[in-house]
Protein backbone atom coordinates (compact mmCIF):
# COMPACT_ATOMS: atom_id res chain seq x y z
CA UNK A 1 0.00 0.00 0.00
CA UNK A 2 1.40 3.37 -1.01
CA UNK A 3 1.84 6.12 1.52
CA UNK A 4 0.01 9.45 1.45
CA UNK A 5 3.16 11.25 2.62
CA UNK A 6 6.78 10.17 2.88
CA UNK A 7 9.44 12.24 4.62
CA UNK A 8 13.15 11.52 4.35
CA UNK A 9 16.50 12.84 5.60
CA UNK A 10 14.96 14.22 8.80
CA UNK A 11 16.19 14.50 12.38
CA UNK A 12 13.24 12.74 13.96
CA UNK A 13 12.58 13.55 17.61
CA UNK A 14 10.85 10.71 19.43
CA UNK A 15 9.85 10.56 23.09
CA UNK A 16 13.28 9.38 24.20
CA UNK A 17 15.72 9.70 21.33
CA UNK A 18 16.66 11.36 18.06
CA UNK A 19 16.96 9.60 14.71
CA UNK A 20 19.37 11.43 12.42
CA UNK A 21 18.68 11.04 8.70
CA UNK A 22 15.45 9.15 9.40
CA UNK A 23 12.34 8.65 7.32
CA UNK A 24 8.63 8.47 8.04
CA UNK A 25 5.53 7.39 6.13
CA UNK A 26 1.92 8.48 6.67
CA UNK A 27 -1.20 6.57 5.63
CA UNK A 28 -4.80 7.60 6.23
CA UNK A 29 -3.75 10.41 8.52
CA UNK A 30 -1.63 8.35 10.92
CA UNK A 31 2.05 7.52 11.17
CA UNK A 32 2.47 4.17 9.44
CA UNK A 33 6.23 3.62 9.52
CA UNK A 34 9.42 5.16 10.94
CA UNK A 35 12.81 4.28 9.51
CA UNK A 36 16.34 4.86 10.76
CA UNK A 37 17.68 5.54 7.26
CA UNK A 38 16.67 7.50 4.15
CA UNK A 39 13.60 6.53 2.14
CA UNK A 40 13.92 5.06 -1.36
CA UNK A 41 10.62 6.65 -2.45
CA UNK A 42 11.36 9.14 -5.21
CA UNK A 43 8.53 11.49 -4.27
CA UNK A 44 9.56 11.67 -0.61
CA UNK A 45 9.80 15.13 0.93
CA UNK A 46 13.47 15.70 1.68
CA UNK A 47 13.93 17.58 4.94
CA UNK A 48 17.60 18.22 4.25
CA UNK A 49 18.47 17.46 7.86
CA UNK A 50 15.74 19.63 9.37
CA UNK A 51 13.97 18.48 12.52
CA UNK A 52 10.75 16.45 12.38
CA UNK A 53 8.72 17.10 15.53
CA UNK A 54 5.20 16.12 16.58
CA UNK A 55 2.67 18.92 16.36
CA UNK A 56 2.57 20.85 19.62
CA UNK A 57 -0.37 20.41 21.98
CA UNK A 58 -1.42 23.59 23.79
CA UNK A 59 -3.61 23.35 26.91
CA UNK A 60 -3.87 27.01 27.90
CA UNK A 61 -3.76 30.11 25.72
CA UNK A 62 -5.76 33.32 26.01
CA UNK A 63 -4.32 34.56 22.71
CA UNK A 64 -7.78 34.51 21.12
CA UNK A 65 -8.96 37.44 23.24
CA UNK A 66 -6.37 39.74 21.65
CA UNK A 67 -7.87 39.12 18.22
CA UNK A 68 -11.44 39.80 19.36
CA UNK A 69 -10.41 43.03 21.10
CA UNK A 70 -7.18 44.19 19.39
CA UNK A 71 -7.42 47.70 20.94
CA UNK A 72 -9.47 49.31 23.71
CA UNK A 73 -12.96 49.93 22.36
CA UNK A 74 -12.35 47.88 19.17
CA UNK A 75 -14.21 44.62 18.47
CA UNK A 76 -13.03 42.59 15.48
CA UNK A 77 -15.52 40.45 13.48
CA UNK A 78 -15.78 37.15 15.36
CA UNK A 79 -15.03 34.66 12.60
CA UNK A 80 -12.12 36.72 11.29
CA UNK A 81 -10.73 36.97 14.82
CA UNK A 82 -10.74 33.18 15.14
CA UNK A 83 -9.11 32.70 11.73
CA UNK A 84 -6.36 35.21 12.59
CA UNK A 85 -5.73 33.52 15.94
CA UNK A 86 -5.65 30.10 14.28
CA UNK A 87 -3.11 31.26 11.69
CA UNK A 88 -0.82 32.55 14.45
CA UNK A 89 -1.18 29.32 16.42
CA UNK A 90 -0.45 27.08 13.43
CA UNK A 91 2.54 29.20 12.41
CA UNK A 92 3.91 28.56 15.90
CA UNK A 93 3.75 24.78 15.33
CA UNK A 94 0.65 24.17 17.47
CA UNK A 95 -1.66 21.61 15.85
CA UNK A 96 -3.98 21.06 18.82
CA UNK A 97 -4.98 24.12 20.82
CA UNK A 98 -7.27 24.43 23.81
CA UNK A 99 -8.60 27.94 23.61
CA UNK A 100 -8.75 29.03 27.25
CA UNK A 101 -11.71 31.36 27.57
CA UNK A 102 -12.48 33.08 30.86
CA UNK A 103 -15.85 32.27 32.40
CA UNK A 104 -16.42 35.09 34.84
CA UNK A 105 -14.03 37.92 35.55
CA UNK A 106 -12.79 40.21 38.28
CA UNK A 107 -14.94 43.03 36.91
CA UNK A 108 -18.59 43.23 35.86
CA UNK A 109 -19.11 44.30 32.25
CA UNK A 110 -15.56 43.43 31.20
CA UNK A 111 -14.50 42.75 27.63
CA UNK A 112 -14.02 39.07 28.52
CA UNK A 113 -17.64 38.74 29.60
CA UNK A 114 -18.90 40.69 26.60
CA UNK A 115 -17.15 38.48 24.02
CA UNK A 116 -17.43 35.09 25.78
CA UNK A 117 -20.36 33.62 23.86
CA UNK A 118 -19.24 35.15 20.56
CA UNK A 119 -15.79 33.56 20.95
CA UNK A 120 -17.17 30.09 21.57
CA UNK A 121 -19.74 30.31 18.77
CA UNK A 122 -17.17 31.63 16.30
CA UNK A 123 -14.62 28.88 17.08
CA UNK A 124 -17.28 26.22 16.60
CA UNK A 125 -18.57 27.72 13.36
CA UNK A 126 -15.10 28.21 11.86
CA UNK A 127 -14.04 24.69 12.79
CA UNK A 128 -17.16 23.07 11.34
CA UNK A 129 -16.68 25.14 8.19
CA UNK A 130 -13.16 23.78 7.64
CA UNK A 131 -11.59 27.23 8.02
CA UNK A 132 -8.97 26.36 10.62
CA UNK A 133 -5.49 24.85 10.36
CA UNK A 134 -5.16 23.59 13.94
CA UNK A 135 -7.72 21.54 15.82
CA UNK A 136 -9.42 23.79 18.37
CA UNK A 137 -10.71 22.43 21.67
CA UNK A 138 -12.21 24.33 24.59
CA UNK A 139 -10.73 25.10 28.00
CA UNK A 140 -13.03 26.96 30.41
CA UNK A 141 -11.19 29.09 32.97
CA UNK A 142 -13.59 29.56 35.86
CA UNK A 143 -13.18 32.62 38.07
CA UNK A 144 -14.76 31.26 41.26
CA UNK A 145 -15.28 34.66 42.92
CA UNK A 146 -17.63 35.69 40.09
CA UNK A 147 -21.20 35.66 41.39
CA UNK A 148 -22.93 34.37 38.22
CA UNK A 149 -20.30 31.76 37.33
CA UNK A 150 -22.62 28.75 37.38
CA UNK A 151 -25.15 30.44 35.12
CA UNK A 152 -22.40 30.83 32.54
CA UNK A 153 -20.68 27.46 32.76
CA UNK A 154 -23.66 25.10 32.99
CA UNK A 155 -24.89 25.67 29.39
CA UNK A 156 -21.34 25.11 28.09
CA UNK A 157 -20.61 21.96 30.06
CA UNK A 158 -22.17 19.65 27.45
CA UNK A 159 -20.14 20.91 24.50
CA UNK A 160 -18.43 17.89 22.92
CA UNK A 161 -15.21 19.83 22.30
CA UNK A 162 -14.87 20.99 25.92
CA UNK A 163 -11.80 19.09 27.17
CA UNK A 164 -10.48 20.97 30.22
CA UNK A 165 -11.80 23.16 33.04
CA UNK A 166 -9.55 25.15 35.38
CA UNK A 167 -10.31 26.79 38.71
CA UNK A 168 -9.05 30.36 39.04
CA UNK A 169 -9.04 32.71 42.01
CA UNK A 170 -7.46 36.10 41.38
CA UNK A 171 -8.16 37.55 44.82
CA UNK A 172 -5.40 39.95 45.94
CA UNK A 173 -2.92 38.73 48.53
CA UNK A 174 -2.72 35.07 47.48
CA UNK A 175 -1.74 32.67 44.67
CA UNK A 176 -0.41 34.59 41.65
CA UNK A 177 -0.71 37.87 43.54
CA UNK A 178 0.58 36.97 46.99
CA UNK A 179 2.30 40.36 46.83
CA UNK A 180 -0.57 42.94 46.87
CA UNK A 181 1.67 45.51 45.20
CA UNK A 182 2.07 43.25 42.16
CA UNK A 183 -1.73 42.94 42.07
CA UNK A 184 -2.08 46.71 42.28
CA UNK A 185 0.53 47.25 39.57
CA UNK A 186 -1.11 44.78 37.20
CA UNK A 187 -4.78 45.73 37.53
CA UNK A 188 -4.28 49.46 38.03
CA UNK A 189 -2.36 49.52 34.77
CA UNK A 190 -4.87 47.26 33.03
CA UNK A 191 -7.97 49.24 34.01
CA UNK A 192 -6.48 52.74 34.39
CA UNK A 193 -7.71 53.19 37.99
CA UNK A 194 -6.79 55.94 40.39
CA UNK A 195 -5.30 54.98 43.76
CA UNK A 196 -8.66 55.45 45.43
CA UNK A 197 -10.47 53.44 42.78
CA UNK A 198 -7.87 50.71 43.08
CA UNK A 199 -8.38 50.51 46.84
CA UNK A 200 -12.12 50.03 46.32
CA UNK A 201 -11.48 47.47 43.57
CA UNK A 202 -9.26 45.35 45.83
CA UNK A 203 -11.77 45.50 48.67
CA UNK A 204 -14.53 44.36 46.28
CA UNK A 205 -12.45 41.39 45.08
CA UNK A 206 -11.82 40.21 48.63
CA UNK A 207 -15.54 40.54 49.47
CA UNK A 208 -16.58 38.65 46.32
CA UNK A 209 -14.17 35.82 47.09
CA UNK A 210 -15.53 35.50 50.61
CA UNK A 211 -19.12 35.52 49.37
CA UNK A 212 -18.87 33.23 46.34
CA UNK A 213 -15.46 31.54 46.07
CA UNK A 214 -15.87 28.38 48.14
CA UNK A 215 -19.42 27.69 46.96
CA UNK A 216 -18.62 28.18 43.27
CA UNK A 217 -15.51 26.01 43.51
CA UNK A 218 -17.52 23.18 45.03
CA UNK A 219 -20.22 23.44 42.35
CA UNK A 220 -17.77 23.59 39.41
CA UNK A 221 -15.80 20.59 40.68
CA UNK A 222 -18.99 18.57 41.19
CA UNK A 223 -20.23 19.48 37.71
CA UNK A 224 -16.95 18.45 36.06
CA UNK A 225 -16.83 15.13 37.90
CA UNK A 226 -20.41 14.41 36.83
CA UNK A 227 -19.53 15.20 33.19
CA UNK A 228 -16.16 13.39 33.23
CA UNK A 229 -14.22 16.60 32.47
CA UNK A 230 -10.53 16.90 33.48
CA UNK A 231 -9.78 19.63 35.99
CA UNK A 232 -6.77 21.90 36.44
CA UNK A 233 -5.72 23.99 39.41
CA UNK A 234 -4.35 27.47 38.84
CA UNK A 235 -1.59 29.42 40.58
CA UNK A 236 -1.28 27.09 43.59
CA UNK A 237 1.22 28.51 46.08
CA UNK A 238 0.94 26.54 49.33
CA UNK A 239 0.62 22.99 50.63
CA UNK A 240 -3.00 23.80 51.47
CA UNK A 241 -3.73 24.83 47.89
CA UNK A 242 -2.24 21.60 46.56
CA UNK A 243 -4.10 19.45 49.11
CA UNK A 244 -7.36 21.06 47.99
CA UNK A 245 -6.53 20.43 44.32
CA UNK A 246 -5.65 16.81 45.07
CA UNK A 247 -8.90 16.32 47.00
CA UNK A 248 -10.75 17.69 43.95
CA UNK A 249 -8.95 15.10 41.76
CA UNK A 250 -7.27 17.63 39.48
CA UNK A 251 -4.89 16.32 36.82
CA UNK A 252 -2.92 19.46 35.87
CA UNK A 253 -1.31 22.10 38.09
CA UNK A 254 -1.27 25.28 36.00
CA UNK A 255 1.46 27.78 36.83
CA UNK A 256 2.25 26.93 40.47
CA UNK A 257 3.92 29.95 42.02
CA UNK A 258 6.36 28.18 44.39
CA UNK A 259 8.72 25.20 44.37
CA UNK A 260 6.76 23.70 47.23
CA UNK A 261 3.49 23.75 45.30
CA UNK A 262 5.08 22.28 42.16
CA UNK A 263 6.82 19.49 44.06
CA UNK A 264 3.71 18.54 46.05
CA UNK A 265 1.51 18.68 42.94
CA UNK A 266 3.71 16.07 41.23
CA UNK A 267 3.69 13.92 44.35
CA UNK A 268 -0.11 13.93 44.14
CA UNK A 269 0.04 12.81 40.49
CA UNK A 270 -0.68 16.15 38.85
CA UNK A 271 1.31 17.32 35.82
CA UNK A 272 2.98 20.67 36.41
CA UNK A 273 2.51 23.23 33.64
CA UNK A 274 4.39 26.50 33.23
CA UNK A 275 4.28 29.22 30.59
CA UNK A 276 6.64 29.47 27.66
CA UNK A 277 6.98 33.23 28.21
CA UNK A 278 8.37 32.45 31.68
CA UNK A 279 10.99 30.19 30.06
CA UNK A 280 11.92 32.65 27.30
CA UNK A 281 12.04 35.70 29.57
CA UNK A 282 13.91 33.82 32.28
CA UNK A 283 11.28 34.42 34.95
CA UNK A 284 7.69 35.21 35.87
CA UNK A 285 6.24 38.64 35.08
CA UNK A 286 4.49 38.45 38.47
CA UNK A 287 7.68 37.79 40.39
CA UNK A 288 6.85 34.15 41.07
CA UNK A 289 8.89 30.99 40.52
CA UNK A 290 10.98 30.56 37.37
CA UNK A 291 9.92 27.80 34.98
CA UNK A 292 13.57 26.99 34.28
CA UNK A 293 14.28 26.48 37.97
CA UNK A 294 11.43 23.95 38.09
CA UNK A 295 12.78 22.23 34.97
CA UNK A 296 16.23 22.08 36.53
CA UNK A 297 14.77 20.27 39.57
CA UNK A 298 12.76 17.86 37.39
CA UNK A 299 9.47 19.45 38.44
CA UNK A 300 8.26 20.68 35.03
CA UNK A 301 6.04 18.44 32.87
CA UNK A 302 4.17 20.71 30.45
CA UNK A 303 4.95 23.94 28.59
CA UNK A 304 2.07 26.22 27.59
CA UNK A 305 2.32 29.20 25.27
CA UNK A 306 0.08 31.18 27.66
CA UNK A 307 -0.04 34.58 25.96
CA UNK A 308 2.68 34.21 23.24
CA UNK A 309 2.02 31.30 20.81
CA UNK A 310 5.62 31.09 19.54
CA UNK A 311 6.98 30.71 23.09
CA UNK A 312 6.20 26.97 23.16
CA UNK A 313 8.58 26.08 20.34
CA UNK A 314 11.17 28.58 21.53
CA UNK A 315 11.08 26.98 24.99
CA UNK A 316 11.51 23.49 23.53
CA UNK A 317 14.88 24.44 22.06
CA UNK A 318 15.90 26.85 24.80
CA UNK A 319 15.62 24.43 27.73
CA UNK A 320 18.18 21.86 26.43
CA UNK A 321 20.52 24.69 25.45
CA UNK A 322 20.46 26.24 28.93
CA UNK A 323 19.96 23.13 31.10
CA UNK A 324 22.31 20.25 30.21
CA UNK A 325 20.19 17.81 32.22
CA UNK A 326 17.30 18.16 29.78
CA UNK A 327 17.51 16.51 26.35
CA UNK A 328 15.72 17.79 23.27
CA UNK A 329 13.33 14.79 23.24
CA UNK A 330 12.43 15.53 26.86
CA UNK A 331 11.76 19.17 26.06
CA UNK A 332 9.68 18.25 22.99
CA UNK A 333 7.58 15.92 25.15
CA UNK A 334 6.76 18.85 27.46
CA UNK A 335 5.00 20.56 24.55
CA UNK A 336 3.48 17.52 22.86
CA UNK A 337 3.01 14.08 24.41
CA UNK A 338 2.91 15.22 28.06
CA UNK A 339 0.04 17.71 27.63
CA UNK A 340 -1.80 15.33 25.31
CA UNK A 341 -1.55 12.42 27.74
CA UNK A 342 -2.50 14.59 30.73
CA UNK A 343 -5.97 15.31 29.35
CA UNK A 344 -6.60 12.00 27.57
CA UNK A 345 -5.68 12.96 23.99
CA UNK A 346 -3.68 9.77 23.58
CA UNK A 347 -3.99 9.61 19.79
CA UNK A 348 -1.45 12.42 19.20
CA UNK A 349 1.60 14.23 20.52
CA UNK A 350 4.41 11.84 19.57
CA UNK A 351 6.32 10.51 16.56
CA UNK A 352 5.16 6.91 16.94
CA UNK A 353 3.45 4.45 14.62
CA UNK A 354 -0.31 4.57 15.01
CA UNK A 355 -0.32 8.15 16.29
CA UNK A 356 -2.07 10.92 14.40
CA UNK A 357 0.26 12.45 11.83
CA UNK A 358 0.44 15.94 13.29
CA UNK A 359 3.94 16.89 12.16
CA UNK A 360 6.30 19.86 12.02
CA UNK A 361 9.32 20.64 9.88
CA UNK A 362 11.65 22.85 11.92
CA UNK A 363 14.85 24.54 10.79
CA UNK A 364 17.28 25.69 13.45
CA UNK A 365 18.88 28.96 12.31
CA UNK A 366 21.26 30.78 14.65
CA UNK A 367 19.78 28.74 17.50
CA UNK A 368 16.28 29.95 16.59
CA UNK A 369 13.64 27.34 15.63
CA UNK A 370 11.76 28.29 12.46
CA UNK A 371 8.56 26.51 11.40
CA UNK A 372 8.90 25.48 7.74
CA UNK A 373 5.83 23.26 7.33
CA UNK A 374 2.91 21.92 9.38
CA UNK A 375 0.77 18.83 8.80
CA UNK A 376 -2.41 17.88 10.69
CA UNK A 377 -3.64 14.33 10.30
CA UNK A 378 -1.21 13.95 7.40
CA UNK A 379 -2.54 16.96 5.45
CA UNK A 380 -0.35 20.00 5.04
CA UNK A 381 -1.96 23.05 6.58
CA UNK A 382 1.00 25.44 6.44
**How high is the pLDDT of residue 318?**
97
- In the 8-state DSSP scheme, what is residue 213? I
Q: Supply the pTM of this predicted model.
A: 0.91
**How high is the pLDDT of residue 285?**
67
Classified by CATH at the fold level, domain 56-347 comes out as TIM Barrel (3.20.20)
Helix (H, G, I), strand (E, B) or coil at 246: helix
The span from the CA of 56 to the CA of 304, in Å, is 10
Classified by CATH at the fold level, domain 1-54+350-382 comes out as Urease, subunit C; domain 1 (2.30.40)
- In the chain, where does the domain assigned CATH 3.20.20.140 lie? 56-347
The span from the CA of 303 to the CA of 9, in Å, is 28
Contacts of 360-365 with CB under 8 Å at 24 or more apart are 360/51, 360/52, 360/53, 360/54, 360/55, 360/56, 360/93, 360/95, 361/10, 361/47, 361/50, 361/51, 361/52, 362/50, 362/51, 362/52, 362/53, 362/93, 362/313, 363/50, 363/51, 364/50, 364/51, 364/317
- In the chain, where does the domain assigned CATH 2.30.40.10 lie? 1-54+350-382
Structural contact between residues 157 and 220, judged by C-beta atoms closer than 8 angstroms: no
- In the 8-state DSSP scheme, what is residue 33? E
The span from the CA of 319 to the CA of 341, in Å, is 21
The closest of 58, 52, 70 to 5, measured between CA atoms, is: 52
From first to last of its 382 residues, the chain has per-residue pLDDT tens of: 467 999 999 999 998 889 999 999 999 999 999 999 999 898 999 999 999 999 999 999 999 999 998 988 899 999 999 999 999 999 999 999 999 999 987 666 677 788 899 999 999 999 999 999 999 999 999 999 888 999 999 999 999 999 999 998 877 666 666 667 777 777 777 777 788 888 887 888 788 888 888 999 999 999 999 999 999 999 999 999 999 999 999 999 999 999 999 999 999 999 999 999 999 998 776 667 999 999 999 999 999 999 999 999 999 999 999 998 999 999 999 999 999 999 999 999 999 999 999 999 999 999 999 999 999 999 999 9
List Cβ neighbours of 138 (8 Å cut-off, separation of 6 or more): 98, 99, 101, 120, 123, 156, 159, 161, 162, 163, 164
The closest of 320, 258, 313 to 284, measured between CA atoms, is: 258
Amino acid sequence: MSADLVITNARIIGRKDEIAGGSLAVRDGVIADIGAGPSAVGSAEDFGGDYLLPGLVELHTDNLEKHFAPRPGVRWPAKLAVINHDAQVAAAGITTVMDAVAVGDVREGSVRLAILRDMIAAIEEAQKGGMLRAEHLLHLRCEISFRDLMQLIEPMSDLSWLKLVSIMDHTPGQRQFVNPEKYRQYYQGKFGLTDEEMDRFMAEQIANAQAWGAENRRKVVALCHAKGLPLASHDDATAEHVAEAAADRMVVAEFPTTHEAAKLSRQHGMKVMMGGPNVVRGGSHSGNISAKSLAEKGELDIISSDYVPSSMLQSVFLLPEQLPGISLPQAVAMASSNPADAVGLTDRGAIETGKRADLLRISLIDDTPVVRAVWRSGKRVM
